[in-house]
Chains A and B, each alone.
Chain A
């Protein structure tokens, strides 16, 4: 009887600890908060044209640049568009959101033949993230864990024109590669809004693609760094 009691206690302990681990996993998925501004960042799921190899991405991208970001995230133009039907307006249903991010072009790695984009010129690009401040509160909305470009940092950017003629970051986080830090872009957003294995897969893909980018444009990147 005593042995049975001890066995039951042990089994219960094991299951409770396993349950508490799962609970912790769920807690870690709670929305990330930006330390600097204490504004919630919420990442929503999306379907987009996803590339996991640099060669295919390069082939399908119109414009590839090395560029420096010149404006802080909160100082950029944040655009939020709402659906217009009566029922949508009642709930402030968002159709689209993005920022217009000014960058300084350091090197053009690929461009259409008729492109007028030159080195050391300014260009404004679209990022799939925005600060939203409406009746539902102030929060940052992002798509598929996209992380905004940071002021003062230099990136290799893969851009495609949208249907309005503006250049937009292509392939979410795997279309922007930070040249100033070795840390992985996905590491910050790993804790939010996804199944655990997906974040790891994306992180691995980003690392591999970044290695390919660094290797492919090694000479151009070194030239930029020397002139910085």
Chain B
């Protein structure tokens, strides 16, 4: 078996020598580097997470606005944080104080039909920034009136929505519907534990 591999390697080198002449030792590393660059960078562009960093990386602090307890969603946001906290690189900690690097969780209402939740990445002055920018903090909102208007207004569905928005807050982007993930759009039950797909995307973004 090894002999066959050696033979094939020698044959390939001979063909390459014929193709590029005596400069094979110079050209080979170039081709290898080109291959590595193309595969590495194309993978990073098509991944389901946003580029750029954020304060505290995968370990942001979360402040619950008084609207969260007022509407009765504390346990649902807790479950959303805990979903992602099962990954070793994520630890979204609850805090009772705010700063320019503390994420803020809210419950509100919206006039847009079908809108379940929304995030706003901010700079340190509180101005919205693009998803690829550096985020100082993020506001995470879920909409009580729209969730209540859905069938299956249950804890499991609300928690999926919370996990989805909190996923955005740690730079996760929307995933295609085919994936077993909380990041595709929609209203459905939360998976029983962090899915392989979501875990993989976190590892790609924030490391193991």
Contacts and interface: CB of A to CB of B under 8 A. Distances in A.
Given A49-B186, A98-B112, A161-B113, A14 B30 contact: yes
A49 B173 contact: no
B45 A25 contact: yes
Interface stretch (B4-12, B59-67, B191-199): B59-67
A206 to B, nearest CB: 14
Interface stretch (B13-21, B84-92, B119-127): B119-127
Contacts of B125: 136
B76 to A, nearest CB: 13
B135 to A, nearest CB: 12
A141 interface: yes
B45 A48 contact: no
A212 interface: no
Given A47-B185, A192-B130, A95 B51 contact: no
Contacts of B55: none
Contact of A49 (B37, B44, B130, B187): B187
Contacts of A164: 111
A49 B128 contact: no
Nearest to B48: A195
Contacts of B47: 195
Contact of A168 (B112, B121, B132, B164): B112
A47, A93, A198, most chain B CB atoms within 10 A: A47
Interface residues on B, range: 35 or more
A161 B149 CA distance: 11
Contact of B109 (A6, A163, A169): A163
Contacts of B113: 126, 159-162, 168-170
A22 B45 contact: yes
Interface stretch (A81-89, A106-114, A176-184, A218-226): A81-89
B26 A79 contact: no
Nearest to A85: B66
Contacts of B173: 45, 194-195, 198
A171 B114 CA distance: 7
Contacts of A187: none
Interface stretch (A26-34, A66-74, A147-155): A26-34
Interface string A42-79: 11111111101000000000000000000000000001
Contacts of A197: 45-46
Contact of A88 (B49, B104, B146): B104
A15 B38 CA distance: 9
Interface string B17-50: 0000000011001100110011011001111111
A169 B145 CA distance: 17
B141 interface: yes
Contacts of B98: 87
A163 B30 contact: no
A22 B98 CA distance: 34
B208 interface: no
Nearest to A83: B106
Given A44-B120, A47-B186, A195 B46 contact: yes
A7 interface: yes
Counting from the closest, the 7 A-B pairs by CB-CB distance are: A50-B185, A18-B37, A49-B114, A95-B108, A29-B132, A160-B113, A168-B113
18 contacts: A3-B25, A10-B33, A14-B34, A18-B40, A18-B41, A22-B44, A29-B132, A44-B119, A46-B118, A47-B115, A49-B186, A49-B187, A81-B108, A88-B65, A93-B106, A136-B127, A163-B149, A195-B45
Interface of B: 25-26, 29-30, 33-34, 37-38, 40-41, 44-52, 63, 65-67, 98, 104, 106, 108-121, 125-133, 139, 141, 145-146, 149-150, 161, 164-165, 168, 173-174, 176-177, 185-187
Interface of A: 3, 6-7, 10-11, 14-15, 17-18, 21-22, 25-26, 29-31, 42-50, 52, 79, 81, 83-85, 87-88, 91-96, 98, 126, 128, 136-137, 139, 141, 143, 159-164, 166, 168-171, 192-198, 201
